[in-house]
Amino acid sequence: MIYSSQAAEMAALLQTAQKMCVAARTAPKGKGVDNIVTAIITAGEKDALADEMDRIAEREGVEFFKRDAENIRKAQVLVLIGTKVGQRGIGYCGFCGFKNCGDQSKKGGRCSFDIMDLGIAVGAAVSAAADDRVDNRIMFSVGKTAIDQKIMDEEVEILYGIPLAAYGKNIFFDRV
């Protein structure tokens, strides 16, 4: 059997995306609470997200959404990593800017541990991609659009998109 380079590369990208989701899941979490949520998007769903990013760019006047949308169209696979927001019930912390978890909850804040855990999970995921020599870039714009579109099944409040590509040149490198 002969596998074309395109088929082999796509299979490798999907395998890397799966490894990234596992890396995000197994990354350390504050107090052992796992609020991380991941997804892998390809083909039409990925392009529909890029189309919405273009609409947001026009509506909100954020040109970098348009630039990032073009990267999403060119990428073969897109990984989403986000977090639900909860609390750890720590009486003496204040990392969120509030006195304690009760105060934070009443005033609508976000637990700093969820945000820190997301950063660690995203770092672990892109490290897995780097280990596989897969080009990638962390993008806020993709995550914001995915939240607006309610792409994730769960209540995800903070989300990043990480497009993956395997071309002769890194498409995420030259940015204007």
Q: How many CA within 13 A on the CB side of residue 1?
A: 3
Kindly provide the residue ranges of all beta strands, DSSP E only, lying in 3-129, ordered along the sequence.
Answer: 36-42, 77-83
Per-residue pLDDT at 109: 87
Kindly state the average pLDDT of the residues 56-84. 97
- Average pLDDT of the chain, as a whole number: 94
Distance (Å, rounded) from C-alpha 161 to C-alpha 79?
6
Report the predicted TM-score, pTM, of the whole model to 2 decimal places. Answer: 0.93
Q: Cα–Cα distance between 162 and 35 in angstroms, integer?
A: 18
Residue that the structure tokens 């073009």 belong to: 70
Which pLDDT value is given to residue 126? Answer: 98
For the chain, domains (ranges, CATH) are: 5-165 (3.40.109.10)
User: Quick one: pLDDT band at residue 86, thresholds 50, 70, 90?
Assistant: confident
Tens of pLDDT along 13-27? 999 999 999 999 999
Q: What is the pLDDT of residue 26?
A: 97
pLDDT of residue 90: 83
pLDDT at 153 over 90: no
pLDDT of residue 89: 84
CA angle in degrees (0–180, nearest 5) for 54-120-140 = 10
Average pLDDT on 36-45 reads 97
Q: Which range, of 19-23, 101-105, 129-133, 140-144, averages the lowest pLDDT?
A: 101-105
